[in-house]
Amino acid sequence: MAMEPKTRTVTTLVGVVVTMGALAWASVPFYNWFCSVTGFGGVTQVADSGSDTVLDRRVTVRFDATVDSGMPWEFKPVVRTMDLKIGEDGMAFYEAYNPTDRPVAGQASYNVTPYEAGGYFNKVQCFCFTEQVLMPGERVQMPVSFFIDPEIVNDRDAKYVHNITLSYTFYQIDLPEDVQASWDADQTQTTSVN
């Protein structure tokens, strides 16, 4: 028994919508995986330890910092540039300051330019791996430990890179529940004492 043309059309359209929805849902994790594996779009790599090989060739790393329009922090690199050998361990610090009268949580996003260098820029330790919470008036220096993978000299597009910019943008996020509860309790206690 064959389906009526209207029923077949509706069934086909529902199938197309479901398939498109599934592809859209899967595209974000797939894109994130693709970028992290290939360094596409300036996404950096994560390493457990530094490089075993240090080359005689040098590269200049520039550090950049911005905050999203809704983030009240002040955020800047402690040192603007660093000159190091490819494969050499580097350590840079960024400074964040919360000028408000309340705790603020933030998460940093990052990228590397030129994009060709993203797949060779390896972070060993970074403040961007976790959320950061600054109390009112708190100022901190946050480290990022990194190296440039010596394989960069074998990449036909990246081997001519001599300057790399590591950029961070901090976005405000919700306070962790324990910090919010502690802050609310302190504010209640302060109000009751006054």
Reading the block at residue 41, the tokens are: 């779009």
Q: How many CA atoms lie within 13 A of 173 on its CB side?
A: 16
CATH number at residue 130: 2.60.370.10
* Alpha helix stretches (DSSP H) within the chain: 5-38, 177-193
Domain that holds residue 15: 10-34
pLDDT value of residue 40: 43
pLDDT value of residue 46: 65
Tell me the DSSP string of 22-44.
HHHHHHHHHHHHHHHHH-GGGPP
Mean pLDDT by 10-residue block, N- to C-terminus, for the chain (194 residues)? 72 72 52 43 62 91 94 95 95 96 92 88 88 94 93 89 92 86 74 58
pLDDT value of residue 192: 59
CA quadruple 76, 77, 79, 82: dihedral positive or negative? negative
pLDDT value of residue 31: 41
Quick one: 150 and 62 in the same domain? yes
Quick one: 28 and 49 in the same domain? no
Whether 158 maps to a domain, the answer reads yes
C-alpha distances in angstroms, 132 versus 43, 127, 140, 168, 173? Answer: 20, 8, 10, 13, 9
Whether 49 maps to a domain, the answer reads yes
C-alpha distances in angstroms, 123 versus 12, 21, 46, 92, 182? Answer: 48, 35, 5, 11, 33
